[in-house]
Every structure is written in C-alpha cells, then in structure tokens.
Amino acid sequence: MGGSTDAASPIPHPTAQPAYAVLLDLFATPGGFNIALADASGRIVARATAAERTSINDAIELPYVSASKSHVYYLDGDRTVRSLNVDGTTGIAATISGGPSVHATFAVTPDDTRIAVGLLDYSVNPVRLTVYVEDLGGAHHQVIFTSTNHYVWPVGWHAGQLVVAYLGPNAVPFKSKTQLYSNGDLIHYPYGQSPYGGINFHVINPVTAAREVIISGGGASGLLSRAGTAVVQGDATDWSGNWINWNSPHDYGTFSAAGSLSPDGQMIAACCPTPAAGGNLVIWYRDDVTKVLPVVVTASDWVGWLDDDHVVTGFYRADDGTPSVIQLSSGAVVPIAAHGIVVAIFPSNLE
C-alpha cells in the first residue's frame, strides 16, 4: 500500500518431509484395529482406532490402509474412509460402497484427488469383484473392471497408473482355499508375506483397466518401494516388470522368508542368517554379501524402509516381537511403543 517499505517475503525452499512407518495392529481389540505412525527416532506421532469390516466367514483379509503424499487413509467399518495426520487429527475423507456382505478396500492417489476401490461381493456365488475409480469427493465415478474368476484389488498408484494386488490364477477369495507364499496360517498371518494379500501386482490403466506391467510372477513380499518389490525366491522385480537376480544363493530365498526391497533398489532386508522361522534381521546385498543386524525378526514378517539407512520391523503377533527402528550405519536399535505390521511408509514413496 502507499509508501510501504515491507521487505519481500523470502522464497521458500522445499525441504525433505520426514518419513513415518504406518503400523497396523489387526489383533488389538475384538472387532477393531489400531494404527500408529512412527518416525525414525521411534517416536509415535499419531494414533487411531477403527472398526473392522463386518465379518464374513472364511473371507480373505483385504488391506485397510492407504498413504498419499499428505495423509494416511484408513477404512473404518465397511464404508467410511478416514484420514489421519501426523498431528493426530482425523477426518472423514470418503464413503465407499462396502457393506455387510461386500468387503471393500481402496487406494488414494499421491495427490489426494482420486480413489480406486475394490469390492468383493460375497452375497453371490462365485464372489463378484468390482473395481471402480472416482474423485475422492465421489464425482466422476467409473467402474473399470468386474470379474467372478480373477481377483484383484487396489493397493497403490505408480506414475499415474493403478497398482492392484492379484490373488493368483484359479484362486478364490477364501482363506481356506487361498495359497499365498507364506506359512499358510492366514488366521494369525492374514495377508501372508506382504501387507497386500496377493501373490504379485499388476500395474493397470485407471480408465480402461488394461494391464501395463506384471510385477513379479509370484511371491512378492514386503512393502512395495520406489525400486519395486522383493520376492520370496530371494530376488527382486522392478516397476518395469524386470526380474532382478540378486545372485545370492544362500540368502533368505532358500527358505522363502519375507523380504523388503530398499528404496534405492540395492538392499533387501529379511530374516535370517540361516534357514529358520526366526532370527536376526539381515541386509542382503547382491552377490551374497550380507550385514547381520542386532535385532530379532521372523521369517513371516517384513520391515519397512524409512530411507536407505533406517528400517522398521513389524510383527503380526505381539508374542513374536516388538517393533523397532534400526539404523543400518550405526546398528542402533530403538523400540517403538506400538504394535503391528508395517503396512505403508508415509508420505507415499512409490515414485
């Protein structure tokens, strides 16, 4: 205004946003689950509690959580999608088409504009799958895929394309009939060896559902990362679908443990130094090079990578272990005051 000599505001420079592990405790309370966000120091910055879906006998477990660049989203009951912020505040983000006989799951785009929803309708035989995409507010609703013999559901977004988990050929969405690359106990380890519940991933067009890429032929394990996914065979697959031979004949692939691929694609974290159901966490580099870390994990659980120097352990069952943050460069281990499996890294880090 007239004569003002106010100094110009400095141009803000972008800073790296801290990363958080999203822990999901499926067995926290009867009919409910807990979510916690933990940072690299092991501090819990936010918590939330929600209701499980209406129980359907023998139905497979679908994911409850999706992370964008700015929010963690979770399903509360059959239909309500809520958001969780790092300051602990929550809000209602969307209502999706789940119900007492229809189990739903979802994935929100990194920019919070769109949501993809997968529905498994158990009121009909065979179970009917519907996948739709719409704006997060509900507009521009479009069904992109239906099936009664091929089962997929949204688990993320990569480079503008929708990522879906695939249950496998001739597979049906019932725990008693599903064969994942795991210990086979889908009661106590409901998703198998990843938080997504399928054997691999398909990258599809979010308008036409045309398949662009298959990520691993089977055995995908741990969290998806910016580099791709680890597989229980001891190797990895990138986002172009290329198999990455780890060339480590003595690694976790000899006993099909759950591995997680680092964001830079150079390391896989998995149990154990020798074939076992539990033991020390090992960082597997290519060509059979290893680093054993001073923390105990199981072959059925996986870690999340906060960055290329920090991993977070998670556990389905409380009696299997306590989640912790491990710094690779120093070997420091910090327990986390929460329980559960690592189901996402926030902010979304797949691209």
Beta strands 220-225 and 211-215, pairing class = unpaired
Amino acid identity for residue 309 in this structure: D
57: Cβ contacts below 8 Å, ≥ 6 apart: none
**Residue 322: phi, psi to the nearest 5?**
-110, 130
Per-position pLDDT tens, the chain of length 351: 334 333 333 333 334 689 999 999 999 999 999 999 999 999 999 999 999 999 999 999 999 999 999 999 999 999 999 999 999 999 999 999 999 999 999 999 999 999 999 999 999 999 999 999 999 999 999 999 999 999 999 999 999 999 999 999 999 999 998 877 666 788 999 999 999 999 999 999 999 999 999 999 889 999 999 999 999 999 999 999 999 999 988 889 989 999 999 999 999 999 999 999 999 999 999 999 999 999 999 999 999 999 999 999 999 999 999 999 999 999 999 999 999 999 999 999 898
- Nearest Cα neighbor of 134 from 176, 104, 179 is 104
Radius of gyration (C-alpha) of the chain in whole angstroms = 20
CA–CA gap between residue 339 and residue 28 (Å, rounded): 8
Q: How far apart are CA 176 and CA 5, in angstroms?
A: 74
Cis peptide before 195 (omega within 30 of 0): no
Locate 206 and state its tokens: 């979010």
The yes or no reply on domain 20-346 and CATH 2.60.40 is no
Amino acid identity of residue 7, one-letter, is A
Give CA–CA dist 211/202, Å, rounded.
Answer: 7
